[in-house]
Every structure is written in C-alpha cells, then in structure tokens.
Amino acid sequence: MYTGNTMLWKPPPTSTLTSIAVQNICAKVLERNGYNPAVCSFVSGGADIGKLIASDKRVPLVSFTGSTAVGREVGVEVQRRFGKSILELGGNNALIVAPDYTDTDSVIKSVVFAAFGTQGQRCTTLRRLMLPGTIYDEILERMKNGAAKLLTKIGDPLDAQTLYGPMHNQAGVDLYVRTVEKIKEAGGKIECGGKVMDRPGFFVEPTIVTGLPHDHELVQEEAFCPIVYLLKYDTLEQAMEWNNEVEQGLSSAIFTNDIKTQYWFTGPNGSDCGIANINAPTNGAEIGGAFGGNKSTGWGREAGSDSWKQYMRRATSCVNYSGKVELAQGIKFDV
C-alpha cells in the first residue's frame, strides 16, 4: 500500500553500524522500485538528536520505542507542539499458571525462554511468574535446572548453537549488578545466578529471585536484564490483581485449560495489558498482531493489519451533487 509518507529514523547510538546496514538495504529497495532513497532517511546521534526530533514542528508524528521514563518526556514534548506520538515503552510482564494446568513441561520451556531468552533484553520479557502453591517448588527447581543448562550454551549470538548471549553493553551489566545488590539488601533470595561471568564480553548469569512480596518496589520496576521474580498466589483473582498492579501494561500470559478462565483473562475484568496470551509465553506469540500496550507502556500499536492507519491523517469529506444546498441537521437558514 502506498501512503505517501516519508521517514526519518534514529537508532540508539550503540547500534550505529547495524543501522547503517539496514539503511543501505532500504535505499536499494527504494531505488529498485523507482523511488528516491531519501524517502527513508537515517540520522545518527544521541539524546540531543532525539530531543530535536521531538520538538521539531516539521515532524508531524514521532514513534518512539524505549523506556517509560524517556517516553514520558518524548510524549510531553511532542504534545507541547500538538504533534502526534506513538509510544512503545517498557513492560513489567507477568505469566500466571492456573491451578488446573498440569503440563509443567510446557510451562518450563515457556518461562525459561521468556525470562532468559535474549538475556532479558526484550520489552516482552517475563519479569514476574505467578504460581499456585501446588507446583511452586517443582517449577522453581526445574527453572533452576533450565538456567543451568543455558550456561552450557553461552557464547556468540551469531552462532546458531548459542542459546544465551551477552548483554548489549556495559550499561546493561551495571544495571544487572545494581539490581542484584538491591535484591539482597531487600531480603530477596537469589535462587540461582546473580553474578557477572568471568569471561570476555558482557555476560551475566540468568537469575531467579524469591522472597520478595508482589508489591515491592523492585518487583514493580522493569529491570532490562535476565532477572525473574517468582510469586506464590492463593487465588486466581489475587494473581490477576498482581498482574494489573504495575504501571506498565504490555504483555501478559496465562496457562490454563479452562475456557472460562481463558475468556476471563482476555475480557474486561482480566488482564489490562495490550497483549494477552493463552498457553503461550509473554514474548514471541504476538508477531503479526497489533503490538503495543496500555498505561505506562504508551498505548501505541505497531504491526498488525491496521497499524498503518496511525501514521496517516484522517479527514472527513462531504460531497454534494444534489444541485442545492442542504444545511446541517435540516436547519432552515434563509438569507
């Protein structure tokens, strides 16, 4: 579909070389289809460039992907000039295992991938795992075993055999270290992990935490690293309250075979997230659907069949072929 839009995009300054490669691909595609490659233009820089984009009236729409804190500033700046913003911000995502669900193999495969795949550096990463008491101990031990197996397949993320790679940069490692220290100070228990690996590169251990209450400030925050909090709930209603109590509302999941529970989870009294998965982890299953969240996640949507409409101006037209003027609501206005 041709919409006539042009695009100026700015990646984070830590991925400039990858972004140049992507820009070259886009330019070739545009040229081969008869378009000026400047239709899609790339600019490199840091926060100073981002601020200029947000405040420039010549940019009618700003789509921002990043942290809730920075997104809040972007949204305010764009709104200040009555521009339009699409915000895809953080997610403090939860997965609930219902008491009726007994396929623990599927649970383990899902939660280990969701919590530790891409080293927790994904907005849909699993941060909070809510379990009934009947399977809590079993899931905890099997997750610890799964994390240990990941450590036997660490290395270069370009290697197809690698399951667990490095953090993006030193800042990610520093965040991990600070978070682990705060967990210990708060009385949380590090069930496994909690250390920076003694090897070249930005490698940290997958980490499972127990012992912190659901409403602790650390559990309420999103740490963009491989740390997951395990919580034991009494009732599904309680678990749903915990799912919805964080400020973000990106992705959520429940594992259940009860169709009434499924409809409850996806209905108006269930998950308040933009993505609600059934028997699938918080990350990955949303491909092809409208991607985005609610609350402090920003309310924006990317992908999906109609997301392109967000990038368009809407106009309402009235065309009169009758040969006479009909006023609104049939008003008689003779002059």
Q: Which residues are catalytic?
A: 88
Q: Which residue is listed with tokens 């509302």?
A: 249
Q: Which residue is listed with tokens 């042009």?
A: 6
The tokens of 154 are what? 């660490």
Per DSSP, what are the bridge partners of residue 244? none
Is-contact 280 291, C-beta < 8 A? Answer: no
Could you give the CA distance from residue 269 to residue 103 in angstroms, rounded to a whole number? 26
Is-contact 302 291, C-beta < 8 A? Answer: yes
Largest CA distance in the chain: 87
The tokens of 179 are what? 């978070």
Distant-in-sequence contacts of 33-39, Cβ < 8 A, 24+ apart: 38/6, 39/6, 39/7
Could you give the CA distance from residue 181 to residue 194 in angstroms, rounded to a whole number? 9
Could you give the CA distance from residue 184 to residue 194 in angstroms, rounded to a whole number? 10
The tokens of 181 are what? 């220290």
Q: Which of 209, 273, 228, 279 is nearest to 246 (CA)?
A: 273
Q: Which residue is listed with tokens 């041709």?
A: 2
Chain centroid, CA 226 distance in Å: 14
Could you give the CA distance from residue 69 to residue 232 in angstroms, rounded to a whole number? 30
Q: In this structure, are strands 227-233 and 248-249 parallel, antiparallel, or unpaired?
A: unpaired
Could you give the CA distance from residue 153 to residue 162 in angstroms, rounded to a whole number? 5
